[in-house]
Amino acid sequence: MTFTPPVPEHVRNLPPYIPGRSSPSVARDYGLPEDTIVKLASNENPLGMSPLAREAMVKFAGDISRYPDSDGHDLKATLAEAFGVEPNWLTLGNGSSEILELVSRAFLGPGRGAVISQYCFAVYRTAIRVVGGRIVTVPAVDYGHDLDAMAAAVTEDVDLVIIGNPNNPTGTFFSQARFEEFLDKIGDRAVVLLDEAYGQYLAPEDSFDSIGLVKRHPNLVVAHTFSKIYGLAGLRVGYSVAHPLLTDTLNRVRPTFNVSVLAQIAARASFGDTDFLEKSRRLNQEGLMALEAACRERGLEFVPSKGNFLLIRFPHATEMNTQLLKRGVVVRPVGNYGLENWLRVTIGLPAEMQRFIEVMDEVSAEIAADKSPDD
């Protein structure tokens, strides 16, 4: 018997998400010791998790044979107090990626439009298409968001706008004043999802009161994650803040028990670890400045970044990536974003960044020698 699964066309045509290569997979493929791999591909915190999060999980004396609190009462209470909102303004997600999916599931339908920017996070497209939504892509300006054009793209058949700030994979950033102008232009014509996965890396001069904006704009949803600066990527926990009318809808489509017991405990403990957050910001800023300086010295083009990564253009990016992998240095190719000549490099520990620069120079010299004409 031949069976053809009844897969809807909008699902059948979905491209699979391509994650950054893991250290074990690179070690296996290239015969390298796993502890020598330098992973700079997935925008993880090189300092790991907050010591307070680790301590809280170790001390947990509960029973993990029991389901977690599906409402996430304690974590929501901590977040609500910090943001000056009631707990019913919050929705918990299995990472902020699930928040993106929940918003699309709640506010989009077949044929309905969602506006995104040209070089946005790949999951935005997947979240829209998996519910049969129609993608309206607005060309980027200097690799970032053209907010005026995005506002103009919100027509009668558009229900959602998704924006990342800072943006992944380009690292671009727009000010709060520019975003407020954008919100005023949108009015109440669509739901706006602001993805601030990298917002905690911003310097004080770029401070962005997104929660204050949520309080003034009932169509705004702000998504945060504990995967980046908090270092809890392996636990998968994120959340959104929005008016209760929106969160009520999100919770109707949210899977039950979507955030585990340990994830809730670790997130709650790490949220208040200001020392760890400041140490992580400082390490990232120093590493970012050093990598930008190295690119300038070598005449390499890059996109100035407000995240924990740098997008760098290479004359032979595919070959550069392959040779880096062979030497145990993992970065992120972004050809699937339409950025074929670029590699995204996460900011790691100083020794990891030095290793990347040394190997990059070594590979660049080999490629240049190979491409040069014979004497």
Tell me the CATH number at 182. 3.40.640.10
In a domain, 259, yes or no: yes
Helix, strand, coil percentages (3-state) for the chain, rounded to 5, are 45, 15, 40
312 and 175 together in one domain: no
212 and 283 together in one domain: no
Q: What is the pLDDT of residues 141-175, one digit of tens each?
A: 999 999 999 999 999 999 999 999 999 999 999 99
Tell me the CATH number at 310. 3.90.1150.10
- Give the whole-angstrom CA distance, residue 337 versus residue 115: 16
State which H helix or E strand residue 223 sits in.
strand 220-225
192 and 224 together in one domain: yes
For the chain, how many structural domains are there in total?
2
- What pLDDT was estimated at residue 373? 61
Q: How far is CA 199 from CA 152, 204, 238, in A?
A: 26, 11, 13
112 and 204 together in one domain: yes
In a domain, 211, yes or no: yes
In a domain, 372, yes or no: no
287 and 178 together in one domain: no
Q: What is the pLDDT of residues 220-238, one digit of tens each?
A: 999 999 999 999 999 999 9
28 and 86 together in one domain: no
Give the percent of the chain with pLDDT over 90: 89
243 and 327 together in one domain: no
282 and 362 together in one domain: yes
In a domain, 187, yes or no: yes
203 and 233 together in one domain: yes
33 and 146 together in one domain: no
CB 285 within 8 A of CB 208: no
Domain that holds residue 72: 67-272
Q: What is the pLDDT of residues 345-359, one digit of tens each?
A: 999 999 999 999 999
